[in-house]
Amino acid sequence: MKFYKNFILFTIINFSALAIGSWLMNNGPKTQWYTNLNQAPWSPPGWVFGIAWSVIMLLFSAFMSYLIQVDRSKKVLALFGAQLMLNIFWNYLFFNKHLIIIGLINILFLTFLMFYFLIAFKTKIKNKRLFVLPYCIWLVLATSLNLYIALHN
pLDDT at 125 over 90: yes
Question: Per-residue pLDDT tens for 46-102?
Answer: 999 999 999 999 999 999 999 999 999 999 999 999 999 999 999 999 999 999 999
pLDDT at 27 over 90: no
Identify which of 105, 109, 127 has the alpha carbon closest to the alpha carbon of residue 118. Answer: 127
Please give the residue that has the higher pLDDT: either 96 or 1: 96
pLDDT at 44 over 90: yes
Confidence class for position 3, pLDDT limits 50, 70, 90: very high
Confidence class for position 28, pLDDT limits 50, 70, 90: confident
Query: What backbone phi and psi angles, to 5 degrees, belong to 36?
Result: -90, -5
**CATH assignment at residue 129:** 1.20.1260
Confirm if 134 and 55 have CB atoms less than 8 A apart: yes
- pLDDT score of 90: 97
State how many domains the chain has: 1
CA-to-CA distance for 113 and 58, rounded, in angstroms? Answer: 18
For residue 71, give its domain range.
Answer: 2-152
